[in-house]
C-alpha cells in the first residue's frame, strides 16, 4: 500500500501494514516517549516481506527502544554543555550549530537527539531567540561556518530559510553555511526551485550534508533531488551512521559510498552510533566498526572513504577512530599495514 501522507501513529503504521496488531501495545509505549514519522517515500521503500528490512529498521519503532542502559544519555553528544544561547551550540572555535527547528520529516529510531526532537521536543526557535542567536554569531568573528541542524532545517518553508540565509549574508566573517538533512532522501519532492533558491539566498558557499545509511535510500527520486541541488551549485557531502542490521557489512557500506560518489556526493562522516537512550540494538562494537572501515579501504576507491568518527560522550567533540595502520617501533622505525592486512617496515629518521 502506498501512503499518501506521513504515518505518525502506531495505528497509521498498522494500517499501512508496517506493524502487526500484536506488536501494537508495546509500540504504543515506545511512541509515548519517542516521536514517530514515516514519509510516503520511505513507506513505499520498505519491503513488508522482509522482517529484517534495513529501511524499516531505521524508521519503524521497535519494542527494543524501551530498554534503556545505564551508559545511555539523554544528550549523548553534550550539546547542552556548549550552548551559550538558545539554539546555538559552540563546541569548536570556528563553527557553530544553529538549531532553528526540532522537527523532522521522519524520526530515526537511533537518533542522537531523540529527547529533543519531535512534537514534544524543543520546538522551533522563537523570533526573539533567533535574534539572540544571530547576535551571538555576529559578535564572534572566529565563526567561519554555521551549521543548520536540529531537527531537520529543510522542513522550514523556503521563505523562512531564505530569511535565515539573508541574515547570515550580512555577517561578513561567516563564509560557509552547511545544512544537515535527510529531506532529499525521505521527502525528495520538497527539493524544488523555491527551496533551492532559498538555500542560495546569500553570498555564502552552501554545503548540504545528506544523511543516508543504506544504498536503497538513494531512489531515482532521491537522486534527482540531489542532482537538482548539485546542479544549482550546492556542494554535497554525506553523513551516515554505522548501524547494526542496517549497514554493518562491507558490501552494503561499499555500495552506499559508491552510490554517494556516483551522485556527486562526497562521503564525509561515518558515525559510530551514539549512546542515545533505547538504541542498544543498533550499536556494534568499536572493533567491529574498525574492521568494517578497514574492509572498505581495501574494497573501494579513495573517493568513497568516509571518516569513521566517535562523538565523545559529554560534549568533548569528535575523535577519528579509523583502524590504525601504522605502529611506532621506536628509533624512527614503523610497521605499516597495507589494505590486504600485510605488514611492511617504514623508516623515517
In the complex, the residues that contact ligand SF4 under the rule CB under 6 A are 104, 107-108, 111, 113, 117, 151-152, 182, 211
Q: 279: closest CA among 109, 75, 104, 71? A: 109
95 is a catalytic site residue: yes
113 is a catalytic site residue: yes
- Compare residues 124 and 202 and give the one whose CB is closer to ligand SF4: 124
Q: Which residues of 286-297 are buried (b: 16+ CB within 10 A; e: fewer)?
A: eeebbebbbbbb
Rounded to a whole number of angstroms, the minimum distance from the CB of residue 289 to ligand SF4 is: 18
- Compare residues 62 and 152 and give the one whose CB is closer to ligand SF4: 152
Q: 124: closest CA among 97, 147, 148, 156? A: 156
91 is a catalytic site residue: yes
For residues 132 and 302, the answer to whether their CB atoms sit within 8 Å is no
Rounded to a whole number of angstroms, the minimum distance from the CB of residue 284 to ligand SF4 is: 18
Say which of 12, 34, 75, 104 is annotated catalytic.
104
24 is a catalytic site residue: no
258 is a catalytic site residue: no
Rounded to a whole number of angstroms, the minimum distance from the CB of residue 209 to ligand SF4 is: 11
Rounded to a whole number of angstroms, the minimum distance from the CB of residue 191 to ligand SF4 is: 15
Length of the chain: 349
107 is a catalytic site residue: no
- Compare residues 113 and 204 and give the one whose CB is closer to ligand SF4: 113
Say which of 8, 24, 297, 318 is annotated catalytic.
318
Say which of 57, 108, 204, 207 is annotated catalytic.
108
Say which of 24, 95, 167, 266 is annotated catalytic.
95
- Compare residues 211 and 223 and give the one whose CB is closer to ligand SF4: 211
Rounded to a whole number of angstroms, the minimum distance from the CB of residue 151 to ligand SF4 is: 6
Q: How many CA atoms does the CB half-sphere of 282 hold within 13 Å?
A: 31
- Compare residues 211 and 272 and give the one whose CB is closer to ligand SF4: 211
β-strand 265-271 against 307-311: which pairing, if any?
parallel
190 is a catalytic site residue: no
Q: 102: closest CA among 86, 89, 113, 91? A: 113
* Strand locations in the chain (E): 88-92, 95-99, 145-149, 176-181, 205-211, 235-241, 265-271, 307-311, 318-320, 326-330, 333-337, 343-347
- Compare residues 58 and 202 and give the one whose CB is closer to ligand SF4: 58
Residue carrying C-alpha cell 521522519: 106
CB atoms within 10 A of CB 242: 23
297 is a catalytic site residue: no
d(CA 263, CA 242) in angstroms, rounded, equals: 21
Contacts of 312 (CB under 8 A, 6+ apart): 318, 319
Rounded to a whole number of angstroms, the minimum distance from the CB of residue 38 to ligand SF4 is: 12
108 is a catalytic site residue: yes
304 is a catalytic site residue: no
Catalytic positions:
91-92, 95, 104, 108, 111, 113, 274, 311, 318
Amino acid at each position: 500500500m502506498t501512503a499518501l501522507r506521513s504515518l505518525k501513529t502506531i495505528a497509521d503504521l498498522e494500517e499501512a501494514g508496517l506493524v502487526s496488531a500484536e506488536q501494537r501495545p508495546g509500540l504504543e509505549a515506545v511512541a509515548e516517549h519517542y516521536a514517530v514519522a514515516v514519509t510516503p517515500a520511505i513507506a513505499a521503500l520498505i519491503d513488508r516481506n522482509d522482517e529484517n528490512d534495513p529501511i524499516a529498521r531505521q524508521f519503524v519503532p521497535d519494542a527494543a527502544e524501551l530498554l534503556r542502559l545505564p551508559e545511555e544519555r539523554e544528550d549523548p553528544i553534550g550539546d547542552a554543555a556548549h550552548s551559550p544561547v538558545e539554539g546555538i551550540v559552540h563546541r569548536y572555535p570556528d563553527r557553530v550549530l544553529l538549531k532553528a527547528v526540532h522537527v523532522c520529516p521522519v524520526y530515526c529510531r537511533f537518533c542522537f537527539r531523540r529527547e529533543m526532537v519531535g512534537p514534544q521536543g524543543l520546538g522551533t526557535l522563537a523570533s526573539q531567540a533567533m535574534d539572540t542567536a544571530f547576535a551571538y554569531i555576529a559578535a564572534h568573528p572566529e565563526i567561519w561556518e554555521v551549521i543548520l541542524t536540529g531537527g531537520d532545517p529543510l522542513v522550514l518553508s523556503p521563505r523562512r530559510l531564505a530569511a535565515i540565509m539573508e541574515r547570515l549574508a550580512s555577517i561578513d566573517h561567516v563564509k560557509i553555511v552547511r545544512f544537515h538533512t535527510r529531506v532529499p532522501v525521505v521527502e525528495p519532492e520538497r527539493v524544488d526551485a523555491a527551496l533551492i533558491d532559498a538555500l542560495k539566498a546569500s553570498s555564502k558557499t552552501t554545503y548540504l550534508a545528506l544523511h543516508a545509511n543504506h544504498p536503497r535510500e538513494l531512489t531515482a527520486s532521491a537522486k534527482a533531488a540531489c542532482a537538482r541541488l548539485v546542479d544549482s551549485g550546492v556542494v554535497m557531502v554525506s553523513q551516515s551512521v554505522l548501524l547494526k542490521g542496517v549497514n554493518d557489512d562491507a558490501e552494503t557500506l561499499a555500495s552506499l559510498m559508491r552510490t554517494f560518489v556516483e551522485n556527486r556526493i562526497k562521503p564525509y562522516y561515518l558515525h559510530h552510533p551514539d549512546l542515545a537512550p533505547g538504541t542498544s540494538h543498533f550499536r556494534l562494537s568499536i572493533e567491529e566498526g574498525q574492521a568494517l572501515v578497514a574492509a572498505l579501504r581495501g574494497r573501494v576507491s579513495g573517493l568513497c572513504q568516509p571518516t569513521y568518527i566517535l562523538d565523545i560522550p559529554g560534549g568533548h567533540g569528535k575523535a577519528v577512530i579509523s583502524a590504525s595502520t601504522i605502529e611506532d617501533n621506536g628509533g624512527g622505525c614503523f610497521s605499516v599495514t597495507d589494505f590486504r592486512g600485510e605488514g611492511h617496515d617504514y623508516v623515517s629518521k
